Structure 1
Amino acid sequence: MPLRDDHGRTYAVDQRTGTIGIVMADDGTTIHMRPMHGGPEWTPPRAQVRPATTEEIAAVASR
């Protein structure tokens, strides 16, 4: 998950739902994500997660 912001947060997309979240933990086998505007964490299948683009993050942040 390479894209980090100025605060060290990493953003990713759960490709099953298109939801962009902050990666809270990544131990190499399991990823825990939290919605950008808060809410409960979820654990998507690792194969279904990809790094979020700058444009995707900006679109969600402006909501």
Structure 2
Amino acid sequence: MAEETNPFKKLEEANPAPERLKQKVMESVEFSQLMIEMADLFTDKMGKTMLDLFKTKKNDND
């Protein structure tokens, strides 16, 4: 099997990105991940927590 070269690696070698641009991209990715986690916290996890909070267990002895 022949090993394929990554075209993005060739592009990066020919035209390296400025360090400030790399930093801005990473900050943007981190911010996006934070927003996804916050949305998940207040939609899915909070709903499950509220359901668990008000859920009552039925005992056989009642």
TM-score normalised according to structure 2 size: 0.22
Higher strand share: 1
TM-score normalized with structure 1 length: 0.22
Where relative contact order (Cα < 8 A, 6+ residues apart) is larger, the structure is 1
Q: Which structure shows the bigger proportion of residues in helix conformation?
A: 2
